[in-house]
Structure 1
């Protein structure tokens, strides 16, 4: 048994957990995740496995950022009225011109 196996299993579990909030649905995400892991199951070289783990961790961070962005947008919709939002957008546009 490879010493990297626990890391791979932990990464799979993390990705499954964060995939619950995937926009296209959990089943879609779970199926794609399973196919991706099955595709790499024959790797035996530690360097290649490490590279695949790093890629999986990158994907996890990207999904996490999407989740935070979605949460931020929902909070903003609930707490910022449209007049304030228009003022903020105008200020941002002025700032971008500088």
Structure 2
């Protein structure tokens, strides 16, 4: 069984990913995939395997945040035309 600090880390990671999934494309089924990923790893007992799964979850979190930042950047870029030199 996982130690208490590990359990708290996993729960915090799940909550954070769940919050991030709110803004994801609904057709991708982010929450369903998230739940399946966590359910698949619920019976892990080896500390190294648990740590590896947590690191993978953190990687997914960072990639999702990067995608959101990129989406915001692209939206702003579309909203404002590029600077052009004024005609003198």
Whether the TM-score (by the shorter chain) exceeds 0.5 is: yes
Measure the CA separation in 2 of the matches of 1:26 and 1:19.
12
Is residue 19–residue 30 contact of structure 1 (8 Å, CA) maintained in 2?
yes
Match of 2:70 in 1: 69
Measure the CA separation in 2 of the matches of 1:32 and 1:51.
18
Measure the CA separation in 2 of the matches of 1:40 and 1:22.
23
Spell out structure 1 runs of 4+ moving beyond 2 A.
none
3-state SS of the aligned residue for 1:31?
Answer: helix
Measure the CA separation in 2 of the matches of 1:52 and 1:46.
10
Residue 40 (structure 2) pairs with residue 30 (structure 1): no
- Structure 1 residues not aligned, in runs of 5+: 88-98
Measure the CA separation in 1 of the matches of 2:57 and 2:43.
16
Match of 2:19 in 1: 17
Q: Taking structure 2 as the reference length, what is the TM-score of the superposition?
A: 0.84
CA RMSD between the two structures: 1.9
1:27-49 superposed Cα distances (whole Å, 9 cap, x missing partner): 81111100110000000111111
* Residues 40 and 62 of structure 1: CA distance in aligned 2, closer, same or farther (over 3 Å): same
Q: Taking structure 1 as the reference length, what is the TM-score of the superposition?
A: 0.76
Q: Report matched runs for 1:29-68 at 5 Å.
A: 29-68=30-69
Measure the CA separation in 1 of the matches of 2:35 and 2:27.
12
